[in-house]
């Protein structure tokens, strides 16, 4: 087929399958959690059981949410609090450490930490001394698992050599930086002025210090962003060759973000056809400059551990995104964090003051969650297989469920479009179908089958 015909075909497909859909960092997705059957008591008992069964062998994952940022980027969909008052650092870290102690008392033995991620907000809002105090405080009642992986999100405008060195000294070897786009007009629109030299500096410092994986986040579909801007950002990225690259579609969800995402008009965003072209051109250019697609939105160099995990089938996905180290238990500390005991999910309160109040009263600050049924676990297995390996099967009777014929029926049209191949007991997402893996997962999502969302909850799949 001629390249122009291929391009036209892809464009038609993107048009057809670009609908609002979840990102499947969990199944069931948060809006479908069954809050009525959830209880804190059950959450704790499933956590203790799974911790006792898995801590020695595989360890646990720990996510710590550090919510402060000095300045609001108007495109941002993360949970954050904007402030320039750095006095907030100390009390917040003390609360996170108290929360950790509540968990350690509950679990009655020292967790072995396999994966540790500092997310935000902006972890580098905190001083290097405070971040060191946080990590040392965590390890007063924890040990390191074998081959542990510690990572953090840094802002290129405020990450210093001291941040990188201090976190390296306590075991961090991976860092990811928010880049978004290098064009000034786009940066002005999203209220994030960030010259290339800042990204260059923090990338090079990390490498000099000895970090083994540096990641950049870039976004397409931002206000005033043209196709050329996306290409230019990728070509500038190539100069620094980060080991990992997230290529996100801008999630425009102003109805969920209060005052956020309102600094520009809907008409300032690229039209659907332009966004599609940004995506297709971007993916092609990334491949050309040496990146391999790992899973949804994620790319890496062949030398990175995510690439090997993808190749040897051990890639996993959780609330932190894609990871090379799967653990059954994941504890989330800090406002809005989500924990996963493998049999249930629990989310912390989002309000800082309420969080502080609960911690002061020695209460684990969760406010909602979901206990997984047997059916949820079957569907989760399929969705994880699809998101991490682009295939799943139900050869084993334990992987079958009543609605399987309906799911296959729903996927027929995607099969006719060459996006999936279906056999009597398996499904495979073709190369052409990979951009639409969220749509394939949606066919398996029994909560979506049974009840379409009442209001708009999800961003567009592309």
314 Cβ contact partners less than 8 Å away, ≥ 6 residues apart: 324, 326
Q: What angle do CA 85, 90, 95 make, to 5 degrees?
A: 120
When binding is defined by CB under 6 A, the residue of 29, 46, 95, 122 that contacts ligand SAM is 122
272 binds, among ligand SF4, ligand SAM, none (CB under 5 to 8 A by kind): none
Q: What angle do CA 199, 72, 229 make, to 5 degrees?
A: 50
When binding is defined by CB under 6 A, the residue of 9, 30, 78, 82 that contacts ligand SAM is 78
Which residue, 155 or 298, is less far from ligand SAM as judged by CB?
155
Tokens read off for 343: 């049999």
Q: Which range touches ligand SF4 (CB under 6 A), out of 120-128, 164-172, 205-213, 231-239? A: 120-128
When binding is defined by CB under 6 A, the residue of 23, 117, 155, 236 that contacts ligand SAM is 155
DSSP letters, 199-219, are HHHHHHHHHHHT-SEEEEEEE
When binding is defined by CB under 6 A, the residue of 82, 102, 251, 460 that contacts ligand SAM is 251
Q: Does 215 bind ligand SF4 (CB under 6 A)?
A: no
Separation CA 43–CA 344 (nearest Å): 6
Question: Mask 170-199, x = binds ligand SAM (CB under 6 A)?
Answer: -------xx-x-------------------
**Cα atoms in the 13 Å half-sphere on the side-chain side of 384:** 21
Q: Does 121 bind ligand SF4 (CB under 6 A)?
A: yes
Taking CA atoms, 214 is separated from 14, 177, 274, 291, in Å, by: 31, 8, 29, 14
Q: Does 80 bind ligand SF4 (CB under 6 A)?
A: yes
CB of 66 to ligand SAM, least distance (A): 9
Q: Does 253 bind ligand SF4 (CB under 6 A)?
A: no
Q: Which range touches ligand SAM (CB under 6 A), out of 25-33, 71-79, 109-117, 430-438? A: 71-79
Q: Which range touches ligand SF4 (CB under 6 A), out of 1-9, 74-82, 399-407, 453-461? A: 74-82
Helix (H) or strand (E) holding 443: helix 437-444
CB of 159 to ligand SAM, least distance (A): 9
Separation CA 87–CA 395 (nearest Å): 57
250 binds, among ligand SF4, ligand SAM, none (CB under 5 to 8 A by kind): ligand SAM
Q: How large is the angle between the packed helices 128-138 and 89-107, nearest 10 degrees? A: 10
Q: Does 365 bind ligand SF4 (CB under 6 A)?
A: no
Which residue, 122 or 439, is less far from ligand SF4 as judged by CB?
122
**Cα atoms in the 13 Å half-sphere on the side-chain side of 72:** 15
E strand spans, 349-406: 366-371, 391-393
Interaction site with ligand SF4 (CB under 6 A) = 69, 72-73, 76, 78, 80, 120-122, 155, 178
């Amino acid at each position: 087929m001629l390249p122009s015909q291929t391009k036209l075909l892809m464009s038609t497909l993107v048009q057809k399958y670009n609908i609002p859909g979840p990102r499947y960092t969990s199944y069931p997705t948060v809006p479908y959690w069954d809050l009525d059957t959830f209880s804190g008591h059950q959450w704790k008992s499933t956590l203790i059981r799974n911790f006792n069964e898995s801590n020695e062998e595989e360890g646990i994952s720990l996510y710590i949410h550090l919510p402060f940022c000095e300045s609001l980027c108007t495109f941002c969909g993360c949970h954050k609090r904007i402030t320039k008052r750095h006095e907030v650092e100390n009390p917040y870290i003390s609360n996170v450490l108290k929360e950790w102690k509540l968990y350690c008392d509950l679990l009655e033995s020292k967790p072995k930490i396999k994966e540790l991620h500092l997310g935000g907000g902006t972890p580098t809002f905190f001083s290097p001394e405070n971040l060191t105090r946080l990590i040392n405080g965590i390890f007063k009642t924890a040990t390191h698992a074998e081959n542990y992986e510690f990572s953090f999100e840094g802002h290129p405008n405020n990450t210093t050599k001291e941040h990188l060195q201090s976190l390296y000294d306590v075991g961090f070897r991976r860092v990811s930086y928010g880049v978004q786009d290098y064009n000034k007009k786009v940066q002005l629109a999203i209220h994030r002025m960030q010259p290339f030299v800042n990204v260059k500096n923090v990338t090079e410092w990390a490498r000099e210090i000895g970090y083994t994986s540096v990641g950049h986040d870039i976004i397409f579909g931002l206000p005033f962003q043209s196709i050329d801007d996306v290409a230019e950002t990728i070509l500038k990225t190539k100069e620094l060759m980060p080991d990992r690259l997230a290529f996100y579609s801008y999630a425009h969800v102003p109805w969920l973000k209060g005052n956020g995402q309102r600094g520009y008009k809907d008409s300032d965003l690229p039209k659907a056809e332009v966004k599609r072209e940004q995506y297709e051109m971007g993916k092609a250019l990334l491949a050309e400059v040496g990146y391999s697609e790992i899973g949804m939105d994620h790319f890496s160099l062949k030398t990175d551990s995510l690439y090997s995990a993808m190749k040897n089938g051990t890639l996993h996905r959780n609330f932190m995104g894609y990871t090379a180290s799967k653990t059954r238990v994941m504890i989330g500390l800090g406002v809005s964090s989500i924990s996963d005991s493998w049999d249930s999910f629990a989310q912390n309160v989002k309000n800082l003051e309420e969080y502080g109040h609960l911690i002061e009263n020695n209460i684990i600050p969760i406010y909602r969650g979901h206990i997984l049924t047997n059916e949820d676990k079957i569907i989760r297995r399929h969705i994880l297989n699809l998101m991490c390996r682009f295939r799943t099967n139900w050869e084993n009777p334990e992987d079958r469920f009543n609605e399987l014929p309906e799911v296959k029926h729903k996927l027929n049209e995607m099969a006719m479009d060459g996006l999936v191949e279906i056999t009597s007991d398996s499904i495979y997402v073709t190369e052409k179908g990979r951009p639409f893996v969220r749509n394939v997962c949606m066919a398996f999502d029994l909560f979506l089958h049974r009840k379409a969302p009442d209001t708009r909850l999800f961003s567009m799949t592309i």
